[in-house]
Structure 1
Amino acid sequence: MKNLETPKTKLALFGVQGSVGNALLVESLGRQFETSVILSDLNAVTARPGIRAKQGDLFDPIGVSRSVAGMDGVICILSNPHLAAGADDRQLRSFDDQFVAIGALLDGLVIAGVRRLLLVGDFSWLDYDEQLPSPTLDLLEQRLLDSSLAWTLVDAPAVAEQLLEFDDFAHPHEGSETSELEPLRRFAAGVLDEFELANHIHERIRLTDHREVSP
């Protein structure tokens, strides 16, 4: 248990409007992190004790820098189709959108002086998807390799179509531990373990269990 003299870890989360995001929120609060969710629409999430909502534009480096200033690190769930969480409910579906978002994070965190970044998403493009433009893939990969940030790419888990809410993880019903709930709780624990320990800097990893990391 932390006391008043123990400094809190300050975490910023992008893309929390989904099952993975809710699992990460509950896990971060359980670890007594000072957690801020970054949104373009502050009404996109329900206000809860211990969770701060801050306005920020994921697709703009200056907007990112202002929203994450003072944080110890950032986790962005790129696999969330409602990543922007704006008034127009823009859905992040194209590789071009992800390209812009990753670039804004790489630049924005440097401006803000924040070094730790975890990206959760589908990184199959690193295997050179033939349907995507090769120059763009090369540019993004080179930007990551050249970045001074302590970044880690985490392959997103498969999730059910039914949204698992914050309360599903915080107050699970009897028998729910063997369903979709428990794997996502383990995944969230693994992500935050990596966030804190930073064992896989400049690597892409797959979490199979909260104690096991596969390259």
Structure 2
Amino acid sequence: MLASVEPTQGLDNQRLDETGANMIVVTGATGNVGRPLVQALVAAGEQVTAVSRRISVADIPPGVRHLQADLLDPGGLVPVFDNAEALFLVTSGDFLAAGGSAGAVLDVARAGGVRRVVLLSSQGVATGRHPSALEDPVTRSELEWTLLRPGGFDSNTLRWAETIRTQRMVAAPFGDVALPTIDPADIAEVAAVALRGPGHVGRAYELTGPEPVSPRQQAAAIADALGEPVRFVDQTHAEAREQLLRFMPEPVVEATLDILGNPTSGEQRVSPDVERILGRRPRTFAEWAARNIAAFK
């Protein structure tokens, strides 16, 4: 949902590449959103610097400048922002848990010439699940900013890939609780628009898929794409908690299970923002599954 915030001052009435340097820096460039964002920007003819902690040439399209860097070391980011005007910023859970400072990253970016930032935030800020402090360094900066607040990603189901490949089985909690999860490629396309075009400064967009879909329905969509049955097993809260604790800190696990099991009406609502910005309906989970079915074979 479009937030009621006033645009900040700036040069939002013109394309970035009409004002001189036009490099767009993409952090998290090999992630579920960063990878399609780099591809979308390259397809649009933009100059891109792809940044990741771990990166290989195979991850990056030809002609893209790629740098290995860590946001936890802002001083090491200085070369990243050479000739850059815009930044796509991803601050991961690991970054925040390690005491990373988005403000310090933005200070280096601004000193390097960046004047626009698009932050990958979370729907949880809008619904009160996550603190506004996640976004404060951006909204309080002197940069022209846009906030993207997606709900759950379709790609979160990749955690089922091993059991689907080996057992044709999915185990998940809250099998019939539906949420409007979003295709990361749609997030990337929205980010590309916000980074390149006018009208998005000072805006916060809530990004969802076109319809609520439950874990049981997601498993069925993967089965349809495979052409083989996939058995769904309901996990208990305790079983899901134990599994998630293997790769998530406890507070994140508790918040995740609360959203999955007891979503608010806001978390179940389909937002119009993707269609409003892209001029088309968001992709369905079934479309995501068909496009990524190789991961489950």
- TM > 0.5 fold call: yes
Q: Would you say the 8 A contact 1:10–1:35 is kept in 2?
A: yes
- CA drift of 1:154 comes to 0.5
Per-residue deviation at 1:93? Answer: 2.6
Q: Where do residues 108-187 of structure 1 align in structure 2 (5 Å cutoff)?
A: 108-122=108-122, 124-125=124-125, 128-129=128-129, 137=131, 142-156=136-150, 158-160=153-155, 161-162=157-158, 183-187=183-187
1:208 to 2:274 alignment: yes
Structure 1 residues 63-142: aligned runs within 5 Å: 63-78=76-91, 92-93=92-93, 96-97=96-97, 100-122=100-122, 124-125=124-125, 128-129=128-129, 137=131, 142=136
* Aligned residue identity for 2:120: V
Contact 1:19/1:159, CA 8 A, preserved across alignment: no
Alpha-carbon distance in structure 2 between the residues aligned to 1:159 and 1:44: 26
**Change in CA separation of 1:144 and 1:183 when aligned onto 2, cut-off 3 Å:** closer
RMSD in angstroms over aligned alpha carbons? 3.4
CA distance in 2, matches of 1:159, 1:74: 24
Cα distance in structure 2, aligned partners of 1:211 and 1:56: 35
Q: CA deviation at 1:113?
A: 2.1
Q: Is the radius of gyration larger for structure 1 or structure 2?
A: 2
For the structure 1 residues 208 and 69, does the alpha-carbon distance in structure 2 shift closer, same or farther, using more than 3 Å as the test? same
Task: Tell me if structure 1 keeps the 8 A contact 2:139–2:145.
Answer: no
The residue type paired with residue 144 of structure 1 is V
Post-superposition CA distance 1:119-153 (Å, at most 9, x none): 11325246554xx7xxxx57665543431011111
SS of the residue corresponding to residue 100 of structure 1 reads coil
Bigger fraction of residues in helix: 2
Percent identity, please.
Answer: 20
Cα deviation digits, residues 10-48 of structure 1 (max 9, x gap): 111111223322221221111011111112344385353
- Output one character per residue of 1:145-186: Cα deviation in whole Å (capped at 9) or x when no partner: 4310111110235222339xxxxxxxxxxxxxxxxxx95444
Unaligned runs of 5+ in 1: 1-5, 79-91, 164-181
5+ residue gaps, structure 2? 1-18, 160-181, 207-272, 281-297
Residue equivalent to 1:57 = 70
Equivalenced residue count is: 171
Flag the structure with higher strand content. Answer: 1
